[in-house]
């Protein structure tokens, strides 16, 4: 997985005034009703809709009605902000965005993308500031000089740029009006180089060669240099420079944020027209399509699902079939007895939904109230599958059973304070474990009758 979200800082979103949450690969949020657990899950949906949703017209707030309903205490004048500290393509990346409402429409007010010890891109309005780390430039001065010299003709003759001096790389400002919608869509032109350690790209010149001669000089121009390195498992776009690849993988990661809330059982059990899909819908209503596509491709469901079905529903086979009109639906055979959707257990649908979401390998999987519809044995299985999935998982739960199935280190305790929702990790889990052992009480008992935080 080329993307790992390590920490997220949210400001002014719903019940979060200002919180920073360190995420592990497996996270379980607990807390009373209305403490803000679901708001945390929803934030990932908001971010996805606001940054990468391709639907036109662009209306990312439609399900929340308006900005008023997503901003802290309905204070429309406040910006909503996020800072994600993550690993992308092996780089430590910090990506910050602030959103505001302009004439009722969500707009990006500013963006900042920092690649540790190397490069920072800051965008405010139409201006993009490119800042290179001086130590990084110094360490690679000889290589950069060589590359700039080698390609001066390309730069000056073909793209009509002025000669680039190394010292000018520390701080550059580029006017990027209408060039892109946000940093994740930034398009770059990599200079044709053979340097293995670093890559040089130009911002705003990617179409220069197609421009009429007289207009070339008017194009925006900025140079970005980053080291070449690839994390294992990253999407390796050979035709793409490392920064474009990093931005593409960050965009793909946000696109891959998967939020699962309360399944719409009626919708899941209704036959669906065939369609291509690679992310499970929040209410699970495209599960029929996901399963049917797998069945069409390989004549069987993925091993992960087959194994779970054998373990949790012995003597049961699951597949998909089509109606006379070509719509697809789930079919179950229990000891030879054919069961159509109205006769299939809700729990089976829920399990299929969660396993399908894992199998689609999302960059982050957030599931609200994981315990709904699940028997303890199935819950244990699903929790173990989620933990072993390798994906960053965020669960919310009200279930003492779940609290006892996970480690104290996994828990994030949600509380609503006058300063908004807080999500707190247990500070000294080892000490608490000893205390619980001494008292001979469980984690859930300590949560329900006492205070896990203290």
Partner 1 sequence: MNSSLMILTEDTHGTRFFRQLIVRLKDEGFLSRDIHTESDRFGGPCNSKLMRQMKVMEGLKGYNSFIIVADADGKPLEKVSSRIRIHVPPNLVDKTEIVIFKDEIEEWICCSLGIKINSKPSTILKNKFGYEKFRLPDYVPKLDFAKLTTMKSYQAFIKKLKARTLAR
The residues binding partner 1 (CB under 8 A) are 232, 303-304, 307-308, 311, 380-381, 384-385, 387-388, 390, 404-405, 407, 433-434, 436-437, 440-443
Half-sphere exposure of 138 (CA within 13 A, CB side): 4
Question: What token pair was written down for 282?
Answer: 């929040």
What's the closest the beta carbon of residue 375 comes to partner 1, in angstroms? 13
Radius of gyration, CA atoms only, the chain: 25
Minimal distance in Å, beta carbon 388 to partner 1?
3
Q: Minimum distance from CB of 312 to partner 1 (Å)? A: 10
Distance CA(414)–CA(18), nearest Å, equals 14
Query: Which is nearer to partner 1, 153 or 232 (by Cβ)?
Result: 232
Q: Cβ closer to partner 1: 116 or 307?
A: 307
Helix (H, G, I), strand (E, B) or coil at 402: helix
| Burial letters 332-353, b for 16+ CB under 10 A, else e | bebeeeebebeebeebbbbbbb
Q: Which helix (H) or strand (E) holds 407?
A: none
Distances (CA, A) of 97 to 10, 94, 123, 198, 410: 10, 10, 9, 27, 27
CA dist 372 and 38 (Å) reads 14
Residue 183 or 370: the one with the smaller Cβ distance to partner 1 is: 370
Nearer to partner 1, 2 or 60 (CB): 2
The whole-angstrom separation of Cα 25 and Cα 6 is: 8
Q: Which residue's CB is nearer to partner 1, number 218 or number 232?
A: 232
Question: What is the nearest approach in angstroms of partner 1 to the Cβ of residue 225?
Answer: 31
Give the burial class of 445: count Cβ atoms within 10 A of its Cβ; 0-12 exposed, 13-18 middle, 19 or more buried.
Answer: middle
Which residue, 249 or 389, has its beta carbon nearer to partner 1?
389
CB of 377 vs partner 1, minimal distance in Å:
9
- For residue 160, is it left (φ>0), alpha (ψ between -120 and 50) or beta? left
Q: Output 68 or 433, the one with its CB closest to partner 1.
A: 433
Q: How far is the CB of 442 from partner 1 (least distance, A)?
A: 5
Query: Taking Cα atoms as reference points, which of 308, 448, 306 lies closest to residue 383?
Result: 308
Q: From CA 249, how far away is CA 257, in angstroms rounded?
A: 12
User: Is 261 within 8 Å of 282 (Cβ atoms)?
Assistant: yes
Tell me the closest approach of the beta carbon of residue 351 to partner 1, in angstroms. Answer: 13
51 or 305: CB nearest partner 1: 305
* C-beta closer to partner 1: residue 163 or 300: 300
Q: Least distance from C-beta 389 to partner 1, angstroms?
A: 8
Q: Which is nearer to partner 1, 79 or 302 (CB)?
A: 302
- ω before 187 within 30° of 0 (cis)? no
Q: In this structure, what is the dihedral angle of CA atoms 138, 141, 143, 146, given to the nearest 10 degrees?
A: 170
* Shortest Cβ 406–partner 1 spacing (Å): 9
Task: Give the separation between CA 299 and CA 54, rounded to whole angstroms.
Answer: 32
Pairing of strands 119-124, 328-334: unpaired
> What 3-state class would DSSP assign to 32?
coil
Please report how many Cα atoms fall inside a 13 Å half-sphere around the Cα of residue 351, on the Cβ side: 27
222-227, strands of its sheet edge to edge: 188-190, 198-203, 222-227
Residue 108 CB, nearest distance to partner 1 (Å)? 37
- Nearest approach, Cβ of residue 434 and partner 1 (Å): 8
Report the C-alpha gap between 353 and 260 in whole angstroms.
9
User: Of the two residues 170 and 388, which places its CB atom closer to partner 1 in the complex?
Assistant: 388
């Amino acid at each position: 997985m080329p993307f790992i979200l390590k920490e997220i800082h949210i400001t002014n979103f719903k019940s979060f005034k200002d919180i920073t949450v360190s995420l592990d690969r497996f996270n379980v949020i607990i807390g009373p009703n209305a403490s803000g657990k679901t708001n945390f899950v929803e934030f990932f949906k908001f971010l996805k809709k606001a940054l990468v949703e391709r639907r036109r017209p662009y209306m990312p707030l439609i399900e929340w009605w308006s900005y008023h309903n997503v901003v802290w205490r309905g204070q429309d004048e406040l910006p909503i902000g996020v800072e994600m500290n993550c690993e992308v393509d092996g780089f430590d990346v910090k990506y910050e965005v602030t959103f505001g409402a302009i004439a009722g429409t969500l707009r990006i007010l500013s963006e900042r993308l920092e690649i540790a010890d190397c490069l920072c891109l800051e965008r405010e309005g139409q201006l993009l500031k490119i800042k290179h780390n001086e130590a990084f430039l110094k360490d690679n001065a000889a290589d950069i000089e060589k590359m700039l010299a080698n390609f001066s003709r390309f730069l000056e003759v073909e793209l009509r740029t002025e000669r680039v001096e190394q010292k000018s790389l520390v701080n550059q400002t580029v006017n990027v009006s209408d060039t892109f919608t946000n940093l994740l869509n930034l398009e770059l032109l990599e200079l044709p180089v053979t340097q293995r350690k670093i890559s040089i790209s130009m911002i705003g010149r990617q179409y220069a060669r197609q421009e009429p001669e007289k207009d070339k000089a008017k194009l925006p121009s900025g140079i970005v240099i980053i080291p070449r390195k690839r994390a294992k498992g990253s999407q390796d776009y050979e035709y793409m420079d490392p920064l474009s690849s990093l931005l593409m993988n960050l965009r793909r990661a946000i696109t891959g944020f998967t939020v699962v809330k309360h399944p719409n059982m009626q919708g899941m059990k209704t036959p669906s027209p065939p369609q291509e899909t690679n992310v499970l819908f929040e209410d699970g209503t495209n599960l029929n399509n996901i399963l049917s596509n797998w069945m069409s491709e390989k004549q069987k469901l993925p091993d992960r699902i087959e194994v779970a079905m054998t373990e949790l529903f012995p003597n049961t086979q699951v597949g998909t079939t089509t109606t006379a009109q070509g719509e697809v639906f789930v079919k179950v055979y229990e000891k030879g007895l054919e069961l159509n959707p109205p006769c299939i257990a809700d729990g089976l649908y829920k399990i299929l939904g969660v396993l399908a979401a894992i199998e689609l390998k999302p960059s982050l999987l957030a599931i609200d109230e994981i315990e709904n519809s699940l028997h303890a044995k199935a819950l244990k299985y699903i929790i173990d599958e989620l933990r072993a999935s390798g994906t960053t998982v965020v669960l919310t739960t009200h279930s003492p059973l779940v609290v006892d199935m996970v480690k104290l280190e996994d828990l994030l305790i949600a509380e609503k304070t006058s300063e908004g929702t807080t999500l707190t990790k247990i500070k000294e889990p080892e000490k608490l474990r000893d205390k619980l052992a001494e008292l001979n009480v469980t984690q859930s008992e300590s949560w329900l009758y006492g205070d896990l935080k203290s």
